[in-house]
Structure formats: structure tokens, C-alpha cells
Amino acid sequence: MKFHRFFVAGSMCAMLAGCAGMDPNALVQSGQLATQAAMLTDADVRSLSDKSCAQLDSENKISAANSTYTQRLNKIAAQLGNNINGVPVNYKVYETKDVNAWAMGNGCVRVYSGLMDLMNDDEVRGVVGHEMGHVALGHTKKAMQVAYGTSALRSVAAAGTGVIASLSASQLGDLSEKFVNAQFSQQQESAADDYSFDIQKKKGLDPSGLVTSFQKLASLGGSQSSLTMLDSHPPSAARAKHIQDRIASGK
């Protein structure tokens, strides 16, 4: 364990500009924070997600309960279900032109109205199922660990007692931004695609919207969409074909 901790501290040191000039005590503390991040439990992730989601909710305009956006999302929520691995899901729409959606380990699912303007309900359902897949498969836990570790390293003063630091508003905003912009691996994206397909098939829904959602996102490119599912390889065309092949085979 001692070797592991020194390795983590050394790796994080290499990532920091001007590392040689830093206080050795600060470097040790940075290494401890990085280790803490890697050891975040499911409960820790849910706690951080609660704080992060609340922060983002306070910074965005949430669609009213009687709005068309919320009514559409409620319909999709009823189809996909209200829990992820037993964790209750809380669905809301952010009114913004941005094209995005994400989910956190505490069941917080947020869909941007820009995405809903671009897509029909079947396509939105495919995207939401994909984001829920990242939670169900443990990808968001890893993303939160990375976001927490990076945010902590940017301010050693964030350290507190226990695994989770007492984050200031600016630190929490930094963590939230890092999580929302987190990049998933090719394997994780493909697994989330399959999760969305599988959950829709299990519930007797048509998963073809996942295919056309890829096509629409690909037509936007990176300039208008901040949806992380668009930013990985294989490209959208290959991922669309994979789902088309599964639809054709019935498996």
C-alpha cells in the first residue's frame, strides 16, 4: 500500500505545472487526496452527486412541471423506469440551447431542452437510456472519482476530515463541470449503448431511436453538441451500425 500511495502522489505531481517548487507537505496531501478519490465508496459518490446535482440545478433554468419538455420527459421516464440498480431516479429538463444529457450515481438524470428540440421521443429515450447505462455499469462512479481527485488537487485547502472534503461553492462548481464534461472510454460508451438497447428491448420498446440519435448527433459535430457520447471512438456511424445489427438479429 505504501508503494501504491507514493506512486499516486508521484503521478499526480507529474501532472502539476511547477511541481518542483511546491511545498513537500502539499505534495503529500495532494497524494492523499488522490488516494481518497480512488477509494470513494458508492455512498461517497451518491453524496458528492447530491451536492453536484444541486449545484447544477441552481445554475440552470429547470423546465416547469406543466411544460411540454417536462411532459415529454415524464413520458420517457415512465417507459424507462424510476430506478437504476435500486437507486430512485430524478428526471428534470434544463432549458438551454445546449445539446446534452447526463446522469449521476445518485439517480439524478438531466436532459437539455436543446437535445429535445433536436430529437423525437424515441431518440431522446435512446440517449437517456445510454446515460443511465453509465450509472448502472459503474462508469459514473469512476468519472466522479476522477472529477473529485482533480478538483481536490487544484486546491489542497479542499481537504477535510473523512473521505469527502467540505467543498466550497467554487470547488463544487469545478467538480460539477469536470463530471459533466467527463470522457468515457470506447469500451464504456459501447457498453452504455448496449445497455440502452437491452433495457428498451426488455421493456418492449423500439430501440431504433438510438440509431437515429447517433446520426443526428454526428450531423452536429463537436461544435454544437456537448454530449459526451459523441466524443469517443468508434465513430457514431459504427455505433449506429452495431445497434442496427442487433435489431436485425433480434439479440
Q: Which residues are catalytic?
A: 131
Burial class for 60, CB neighbours closer than 10 Å (0-12, 13-18, 19+): middle
Rg (CA), the chain: 19
Angle of CA points 80, 81, 85, to nearest 5°: 110
| Amino acid found at 36 | Q
Q: 101, 167, 195, 180: which is closest to 140 by C-alpha? A: 180
Q: Which of 230, 208, 229 is nearest to 218 (CA)?
A: 230
Residue 40 neighbours by CB under 8 Å, 6+ apart: 48, 141, 144, 145, 148, 163, 164
144 to 45, 56, 131, 152: CA distances (angstroms): 7, 15, 14, 12
Cβ atoms of 33 and 152 within 8 Å: the answer is yes
CA neighbor of 107 nearest in space, from 137, 125, 79, 86: 86
Where do we find the cell 477509494?
A: 39
Amino acid at residue number 154? R
